[in-house]
Amino acid sequence: MSWNPATYLAFGGQRTRPAADLLGRVPLESPGRVIDLGCGPGNSTGLLAARWPAARLEGLDSSPAMLEEARASGVPAGWVLGDIAAWKPDAAYDLIFSNATFQWLTDQAVLLPRLMSFVRPGGVFAFQVPVNFDAPSHLLMRETAADPRWRTKLSQARETERGHGAVYYDWLKPQASALDIWETEYLQVLEGEDAVYRWVSGTGLRPFVQALEGEDREAFIAAYKAKLNAAYPRRADSTTLFPFRRLFVVAVKA
């Protein structure tokens, strides 16, 4: 499943804001070794570089296109092509950071404690995931995908994983001395036509669109777009308001 950095970065400001909010709650003065898992085009990694210019910083991602964009960003980090699920560092980190990525990973009950085990004592594991599964954008995606015209072809296309604060608490608590977990709903103000469609095209819609071809793809997109535009109408000032809920976790390693 491929990523398009330009489509993703069309809303770069709104997508990076939660990374800044997460980073604001990381209680570290001067971490030596820092990694951004699922660094994408380097937008979240850039925040880490700005806060700790002296840190040894890395960004890891499984998308060559995203990493190419990250390299071109000028953010001073080592860029690593890799799969988070298989990642096994040779030494512990002061900070393992991840913004808007773990929703793409399965088996999180094993994965997240494993990642926490790669943090040194006193270090931090901090991540953010979207939790807007019951928003019209997601409900309508599921409803459109259930249309008999393409239901069979989309049977393997999966939605992203659902995170729950209390579940993350239970998984990480055995290794944590402190856990700070919260949710925020951003009232995002989007510009232009088909704004919510363009937002989801850069992320959660990709598995559905990429599973279809030709006329099916066109018809699916037209049907979904029409539903989205009815659910999120443009306002008198021509903007579209797109409420978006996100879950944050900052775990300090015992």
Residue ranges that bind ligand SAM, judged by CB under 6 A: 3, 15-16, 19, 38-40, 43-44, 61-63, 66, 83-85, 99-101, 104-105, 203
The residue among 15 and 253 lying less far from ligand SAM, judged by its C-beta, is 15
Choose between 64 and 121: whose C-beta lies nearer to ligand SAM: 64
Taking the complex as a whole, the smallest distance from the CB of residue 200 to ligand SAM amounts, in Å, to 11
d(CA 93, CA 19): 19
Q: What are phi and psi of 21, to 5 degrees?
A: -65, -40
The nearest distance, CB 209 to ligand SAM, in angstroms, is 16
Q: What is 165-211 written as a DSSP string? A: HHHHHHHHGGGEEEEEEEEEEEEEEE-STTHHHHHHHTTTTHHHHTT
> For 87, left (φ over 0), alpha (ψ -120 to 50), or beta?
beta
CB of 224 to ligand SAM, least distance (A): 19
Closer by beta carbon to ligand SAM, 83 or else 193:
83
CB of 121 to ligand SAM, least distance (A): 26
- Residue 190: closest CA among 203, 181, 199: 199
* Minimum CB distance to ligand SAM smaller for 62 or for 144: 62
Q: Which residue is nearest to ligand SAM (CB)?
A: 40
What span, in angstroms and rounded, lies between the C-alpha atoms of 37 and 15? 15
Contact, 94 vs 32, CB < 8 A? yes
Report in angstroms how near the CB of residue 225 gets to ligand SAM at its nearest: 21
Closer to ligand SAM at the Cβ: 82 or 136?
Answer: 82
